[in-house]
Amino acid sequence: MLIAGGRDESATFASAEVFDPPSGRFYQTGPMTGPSAYHTATMLSDGRVLVSGGCSGPLALSTAEIYDPVSGTFSRASSMAIARDSHTATLILDGRVLIVGGEAGFGRETIGSAELFDPGSGSFEPAGQMATGRVHHTATRRSDGRVVVAGGGNDTMRLASVEIYDTRSGAFRVARSMSAPRERHTATLIFDGRILMAGGVTGPSSSVSAAFYTK
């Protein structure tokens, strides 16, 4: 398990550690090529890890880097088209990574666009536009390869809406909404193919106790 970057009250980190399950210990590795928080880290099909976006100050980053577990080092990849943090990054069936939504920095506009990272070329390409920009949402890959993007928030409200990304058409379509708006929730693919949406918040001091299944 790779733990990379993050922040505390006074600093943003570039350091990284690896957890070794057999020994139950953490070992220092890395560091990243630059400090970052609120980024994503996605294991690729070949075992490398894509770290994308995030922020090291008030503005989001467009940078991306690759961690090689063999050498224990990070190296820069091509940058995303749009700077974003608090987005999602989902490995799809063909080995590419779908980057969805996010925001342009603390308190700044939410993002409705998506990008795909191709490990073969090491580059990003556009991947369609959602009907609604969102941040702090979930993105869950179904067994058929489609990705269900649910909830989150935008500049004015928390969202109950759900959109599905079809990797064959490269487009999003609006699906049935959740029973309640929520962000920072969990989304878990269960054995029968449904996705369980649970918890989350609807406001600064208002949590959601209801759960919701979607196909």
Please report, for the domain that includes residue 107, its CATH number: 2.120.10.80
pLDDT at residue number 110: 96
Task: Please state the rounded mean pLDDT for residues 148-167.
Answer: 94
End-to-end CA distance of the chain: 30
42-76: pLDDT as tens digits? 999 999 999 999 999 889 999 999 999 999 999 99
176-189: pLDDT as tens digits? 999 889 999 999 99
CB 148 within 8 A of CB 100: no
Q: Quick check: 80 pLDDT over 70?
A: yes
DSSP lists the bridge partners of residue 85 as 103
Q: Which residues touch 119 (CB under 8 Å, ≥6 apart)?
A: 44, 45, 46, 48, 50, 95, 96, 97
pLDDT at residue number 207: 63
Residue 76 domain boundaries = 2-214
If pLDDT is split at 50, 70 and 90, which confidence band does 84 have?
A: very high
87-123: pLDDT as tens digits? 999 999 999 999 999 999 877 899 999 999 999 999 9
Number of domains in the chain: 1
pTM: 0.93
Burial (CB count <10 Å: 0-12, 13-18, 19+), residue 120: exposed
Task: Please state the rounded mean pLDDT for residues 140-153.
Answer: 95
Q: How far apart are CA 57 and CA 1, in angstroms?
A: 26
